[in-house]
Amino acid sequence: MDINSNDIELIVKKVISSMNATSDASVSAPKSNAIPDKARVAMLTSLENFEIKEYPMPKLGDGDILVKVEGCGVCGTDAHEFKRDPFGLIPVALGHEGTGEIVAMGKNVSKDSAGKPLKVGDKVVTCMIFKDNPDITMFDLNKQNVGGADVYGLLPDDDVHLNGWFADYIVVREGSTVFNVSDLDLDSRILIEPSAVLIHAVERAKSVGILRFNSRVVVQGCGPIGLICIAVLRTLGIENIVAVDGEDKRLEFAKLMGATATVNFKNFQGAEALANGVKDAFGGYFADFGFQCTGSPVAHANIYKFIRNGGGLCELGFFINGGDATINPHFDICAKEITTVGSWVYTLRDYATTFDFLKRAKGIGLPLEKLITHKFKLDDINEALKTNLAMQGLKIAIVNE
């Protein structure tokens, strides 16, 4: 076929016109991640009652980040606030075990709290909002935890409203800690905050010099905290772990997380009989170390009897005032020379270490994702909290589709 110069010119014009039309269409087409004018927030407005409210999308400051929420775990603290409002925060946007995708960020934001680059599209979690405390820094090996700082999901309501992870969007304010966790899947990211609690507890336990590879370790309480505690111990190479709980289903989960034996306390009458049951589970020995992961004063009193002379104990079960425990200081502590440590929340370094723990746990085949037994939509958040209070599952989560 013969093509002259006029034909070529006409073909070129048609190609250019087609390209421009395609370009214009791509610009004008609605984007799936377009930011809406309003955001939905599950606001706790009275005891045992969340209302889904809509608020105008706030203007971001130069150091702020807007995150589209993908999911958030339900913590025992959320359940306490839902049922009793012990912190006096109502109305409040709850949810502090959350994660999501950056959809907008201020011009001054370029890195996360560990120095890792941040960009739109990255998956993130938050840790704490600090109050100009020079003793809490990212890379100091200090022993101060972050319990005195603010946390998203337990903030007083303000004119921003997007203060908790039980929402469609959250505004991460300038000065907050934020971590890029794009290399973790959603279930793992939902488990970061509770896992950090156990990383901190195990690091506290290691500080007394008793916890070793060949230690016999008892973990009392097999809710999400106790089960993750077992998984952390297992990833560290500790293989002789006995789990204590009153529910057989949870004890079966303990074996999935790495426990080698289990003891149901309902099968024993009295603390001495239970202690002997734990001893039998260890093949005739008491534990070298114990982790007390319940909020029960009776459980705290009992665990001293599970531990050998010269052993150690980490208490981490009391995130709120659960009441007084009755122990005998002579028999339970002094005569046995037990070393005890308390653990509450975590340090920033513990938080960062948690990311590696989750990868390692998956690498050795621990099915941590099975801890998330129930997933609810944001609209069903009241049902999610009631499911948590009824202890019908393990980790309950709100997941946005």
Q: Please, what is the average pLDDT of the chain? A: 90
Please report whether residue 395 resides in a domain.
Answer: yes
Residue type, 56: P
Specify whether 393 is located in the same domain as 327. no
* Its pTM surpasses 0.75: yes
Confidence label for 37 from pLDDT (cuts 50, 70 and 90): very high
Specify whether 163 is located in the same domain as 206. no
In the 8-state DSSP scheme, what is residue 134?
Answer: T
Residue type, 135: D
Please report whether residue 100 resides in a domain.
Answer: yes
For range 49-70, the mean pLDDT: 97
List Cα–Cα distances, 214 to 196, 211, 221, 338, in angstroms. Answer: 24, 8, 22, 18
Contact 312, 336 (CB under 8 A): no
Specify whether 314 is located in the same domain as 224. yes
Give yes or no for residue 307 having a pLDDT over 90.
yes
- How many CA atoms lie within 13 Å of 95's alpha carbon, on the beta-carbon side? 35
Specify whether 173 is located in the same domain as 285. no
Specify whether 126 is located in the same domain as 173. yes
* CA pair distance 127, 113, nearest whole angstrom: 10
pLDDT reported for residue 23? 36
Specify whether 212 is located in the same domain as 333. yes
Please report whether residue 381 resides in a domain.
Answer: yes
Specify whether 61 is located in the same domain as 89. yes
Specify whether 164 is located in the same domain as 201. no
- DSSP bridge pairs for 74: 396
- pLDDT above 70 covers a percentage of the chain that reads 87
Structural domains of the chain, count: 2
Among 15-24, 115-124, 194-203, the minimum mean pLDDT is found in 15-24
Residue type, 141: L
Please report whether residue 326 resides in a domain.
Answer: yes
pLDDT reported for residue 363? 96
* CA pair distance 357, 194, nearest whole angstrom: 12
For range 309-324, the mean pLDDT: 92
* CA pair distance 79, 48, nearest whole angstrom: 9
pLDDT reported for residue 351? 87
pLDDT reported for residue 104? 97
Please report whether residue 388 resides in a domain.
Answer: yes
Per-residue pLDDT tens over the stretch 241-300: 999 999 999 999 999 999 999 999 999 999 999 999 999 999 999 999 999 999 999 999
* CA pair distance 99, 382, nearest whole angstrom: 20
pLDDT reported for residue 144? 62
Helix axes 381-389, 76-84, angle to 10 degrees: 100
Sign of CA dihedral 294, 295, 296, 301: positive
Specify whether 82 is located in the same domain as 163. yes
Nearest CA to 326 out of 302, 309, 310, 343 is that of 302
Please report whether residue 3 resides in a domain.
Answer: no
In the numeric block, which tokens belong to residue 276?
């002997």
Please report whether residue 15 resides in a domain.
Answer: no
Q: Which domain holds residue 280?
A: 197-342
Name residue, tokens 């099915």. 367
CATH assignment at residue 178: 3.90.180.10
Specify whether 87 is located in the same domain as 213. no
Give yes or no for residue 349 having a pLDDT over 90.
no
Residue type, 15: V
Specify whether 288 is located in the same domain as 371. no
Specify whether 330 is located in the same domain as 303. yes
Please report whether residue 291 resides in a domain.
Answer: yes
Please tell me the total number of residues recorded for the chain in this structure.
401
